[in-house]
Amino acid sequence: MPDESRELTLYVQSKKAVTTFYRAPATSSTAPMTAPTHAASGGGDEMPGVGEPVYFLSDDQSRCVAHVEESAARRGYKVRVIDVEKAGRLERLITEHLRGVQKFPVLISPLGLRLEGVEQFTPEEIAAIMPADLKSVRAFSYLKVKGGDLDRIRRILETLPEVKELHFLTGDWDILVVLDFAPPTASKRRVLDFVTDRIRGIPEILDTSTVVPEYSLTKFPLAYR
The CA angle 107-56-23, to the nearest 5 degrees, is 150
Residues lower than pLDDT 70 in the chain: 1-2, 18-52, 89, 92-93, 224-225
Report the distance separating Cα 197 and Cα 194, nearest Å: 5
pLDDT at site 184: 81
Q: Which domains does the chain have, with CATH numbers?
A: 4-128 (3.40.30), 133-217 (3.30.70.920)
pLDDT at site 49: 54
CA distances (Å), origin 113, targets 22, 128, 135: 43, 10, 24
